[in-house]
């Protein structure tokens, strides 16, 4: 978490396709996790409960993700 309290969670679950060799292909765009994008292939390790956790290594295959912020929509009366 940074000095502004972002992200607001310490864990993010992502959809992924198991490629069967200790890697997965991410199947959705993360909201909080930085440095990965949909379609990236990453190594995973099993935690104590058997859940797959992204290994602390760069993705094997990288895609780009641009984040933007849109201003709120203003409604004008006529």
Residues in the chain: 78
Question: Cα 68 to chain center, whole Å?
Answer: 16
| Per-chain mean pLDDT for the chain | 78
Q: Which one has a higher pLDDT value, 22 or 34?
A: 22
Look up tokens 């094997």; give the residue.
60
Give the model confidence (pLDDT) of 28-55 as tens digits: 888 887 778 888 888 888 888 888 887 7
The pLDDT value given to residue 17: 93
pLDDT of residue 63: 60
Q: How many helices (H) and strands (E) does the chain have?
A: 0, 4
* Res 72 pLDDT > 70: yes
| Cβ atoms of residues 35 and 54 within 8 Å | no
If you average pLDDT over residues 45-68, what whole number do you get? 71
């Amino acid at each position: 978490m940074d000095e502004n309290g972002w992200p607001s969670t310490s864990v993010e679950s992502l959809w992924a396709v198991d490629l069967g060799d200790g890697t997965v292909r991410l199947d959705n765009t993360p909201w909080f996790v930085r440095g990965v994008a949909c379609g990236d292939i990453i190594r995973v390790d099993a935690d104590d409960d058997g859940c797959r956790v992204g290994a602390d290594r760069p993705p094997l295959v990288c895609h780009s993700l641009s984040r933007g912020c849109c201003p709120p929509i203003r409604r004008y009366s006529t």
